[in-house]
Amino acid sequence: FVHQGSPTDLPISSEISLQSIGLPSRIINGTKAVLRQFPHQVSLMRSWNKKHFCGGNLISASLVLTAGHCVYGSGNVILPWTIIVVGGILKLNETLKRQEKGVENIRIHPKFNLENLYNDVAVLKLSTPFTFTPEVHSIPLSGNPPKPNTICQVAGWGYTIVEVPIVSSDLMYVDLPIRSKKECRKLLKNITDLPPGMMCAGYLEGGRDACQGDSGGGMVCNGTLTGIVSGGQGCAEPLLPGIYADVFHYLNWILKDADVITVVRNNTKNCGASRMIMILSCLICMNARYSSVLRVRKLQASHYLSVEQAALASSSYEAEAHRCGIVLRAHFASVVYLTEALKPFIFLFNVRDIKLE
């Protein structure tokens, strides 16, 4: 079992280093990304020499979702100060739209296992938030299970030639189809038992597959972050699709103690849950004929949650007026985006536990 991780020469400090097993990941037979195509994509670099070692995904202005093995070495989570997060770039060395941020804290899944890459997810909390621009922006998380045969995009600065262990200076991407769980287990039976939280994607004929992207980078399906590049055996090998961490499976863990994050729910048929009813009830008093943002604020004086409509202009959100408020005991949506048309509605929201004081 080879995980498409960071290159093997990436010491973090004299005591702690990233571990890599076998071949690192790469985009082979991919296409150069264009400006603003993947504004959520960030590069994780070593703080002392600005060398790229893994990819990551902006899920809010101050949070980055990446692979657990990217931030793990010598039996420990690596030190936050050893990482610089860089956004707004296509080339690793470009400076025009570049933003660099330090890391304040690293939260790795408590059941992460480096040997088999189970629960291969981690969240980085940045020292200072990114400034959202057309080149730098968060991506919504998928609120639905991966759907087989969906064509998704994987981007990264990984190797472009199998035999040449040099990262690409350009951000590259490739289209990949998601395989069914049944098919993944059959194809990867000698590599992994594909437990819950793992998914696979790639072409059966090889040439392009799920290993063609930096570890920690994202699989984007229909505009939502659906998977995190985790592992695989070889690269672009026939009948060996790459392995991803399933974002939907880890939603509750990702959203724990998170700030404003967006989650896409494309199916609202099961509205029996009180939290969905509350969301839809609140939307009744909103004008859904234009794009808008709903922000939930907890008032310190009580357990009352106010919902304010905000104008979506350029990259800034400015509250216009208080429209409606509801009391919730456990859950609510931090952010809701509405489609411009009245039908069909597509709700993008973050449902999370609210710890009442």
Q: Catalytic residue positions?
A: 69, 120, 215
Tokens of 97: 């739209």
Query: What is the number of residues in the chain?
Result: 357
The CA distance from 206 to 212, in Å, is: 11
Contacts of residue 309, Cβ cutoff 8 Å, sequence gap at least 6: 286, 287, 292, 293, 294, 319, 320, 321, 323
Q: Is 288 buried (19+), middle (13-18) or exposed (0-12) by CB count in 10 A?
A: middle
Contacts of residue 49, Cβ cutoff 8 Å, sequence gap at least 6: none
Cβ proximity of 143 and 59 under 8 Å: no
Tokens of 198: 């793992």
Cβ proximity of 285 and 292 under 8 Å: no
The whole-angstrom distance between residue 140's C-alpha and the CA centroid of its chain comes to 8
Q: What is the dihedral sign for C-alpha 233, 236, 238, 244?
A: positive
250 DSSP assignment: G
According to DSSP, the residues that pair with 324 across neighbouring strands are 307
The helix (run of H) or strand (run of E) holding residue 89 is: none
Could you count the other beta carbons within 10 Å of the beta carbon of residue 286?
A: 15
Q: Calculate ∠ Cα 194-151-153, nearest 5°.
A: 90
Region of residue 194 (left: phi > 0; alpha: psi -120 to 50; beta: else): left
Judged by DSSP in three states, 323 sits in strand
